[in-house]
Amino acid sequence: MASKRDYYVILEVDKDASEDQIKQSFRSLARKYHPDKNPNDSEAETKFKEIQEAYAILSNPEERRKYDVFGHERPGGSPFGSRGFQGVDISFDDLFGGGFDSIFSQFFGGQQGDRTRGSDLLVRHSVPFQASMDGLEDEIEIEALKCCDSCNGSGSAKDGGSRQCPSCDGRGRIDEISMIGPFRQRVRKDCAPCRGSGRLISDPCPDCGGDGRALQTNRVKFSIMPGITSGNRLRMRGQGEASTSLNGSPGDLFIEIDVEPHPWFERDGSDLLMALPLNFADLTLGTTIEIPHIDSDALRITVPPGSNPGETISIPGRGLPYSNRRARRGSVTVVLRLQSPNKHSRKLKKKIEEIRVELENHTPPVEERIRDEAKSRRGL
Ligand SMILES: [Zn+2]
Ligand SMILES: [Zn+2]
Q: What is the DSSP letter of 210?
A: T
The per-residue pLDDT for 326 is 63
Q: Which ligand is nearest to the CA of 242?
A: 1
Q: What is the pTM of this model?
A: 0.61
Helix 42-58 and helix 61-70, axial crossing angle in degrees, nearest 10: 100
Compute the distance from residue 155 Cα to the ligand 2 centre, in Å.
14
List Cα–Cα distances, 315 to 21, 289, 312, 320, 321, in angstroms: 52, 13, 10, 12, 14
Q: Which ligand is nearest to the CA of 161?
A: 1
The per-residue pLDDT for 314 is 96
- Evaluate if residue 44 carries a pLDDT over 70: yes
Compute the distance from residue 158 Cα to the ligand 1 centre, in Å.
10
Q: Which amino acid is at 55?
A: Y
Compute the distance from residue 187 Cα to the ligand 1 centre, in Å.
30
Q: Which ligand is nearest to the CA of 172?
A: 2
Compute the distance from residue 213 Cα to the ligand 2 centre, in Å.
18
Starting at the edge strand that comes first in sequence, how are the strands of the sheet with 266-268 ordered?
266-268, 271-278, 332-338, 312-315
The per-residue pLDDT for 327 is 79
Compute the distance from residue 200 Cα to the ligand 2 centre, in Å.
8
CA angle 183, 185, 190 (to 5 degrees): 170
Compute the distance from residue 201 Cα to the ligand 1 centre, in Å.
11
Compute the distance from residue 176 Cα to the ligand 2 centre, in Å.
14
List Cα–Cα distances, 66 to 8, 56, 63, 74, in angstroms: 14, 13, 5, 7
The per-residue pLDDT for 350 is 93
Compute the distance from residue 62 Cα to the ligand 1 centre, in Å.
37
Q: Which ligand is nearest to the CA of 215?
A: 1
Compute the distance from residue 13 Cα to the ligand 2 centre, in Å.
40
Instruction: Catalogue all structural domains in the chain, each as residue range(s) with its CATH number.
Output: 1-108 (1.10.287.110), 266-340 (2.60.260.20), 350-380 (no CATH)
Q: Which ligand is nearest to the CA of 168?
A: 2
* pLDDT digit string, tens, across residues 199-239: 788 888 888 888 888 999 999 999 999 999 998 889 898 89
Q: Which ligand is nearest to the CA of 146?
A: 1
Q: To the nearest 10°, the Cα dihedral for 171, 176, 177, 178?
A: -170
- Evaluate if residue 159 carries a pLDDT over 80: no
Compute the distance from residue 204 Cα to the ligand 1 centre, in Å.
8
* pLDDT digit string, tens, across residues 100-151: 776 776 666 544 445 568 888 999 999 999 999 999 999 999 999 998 988 8
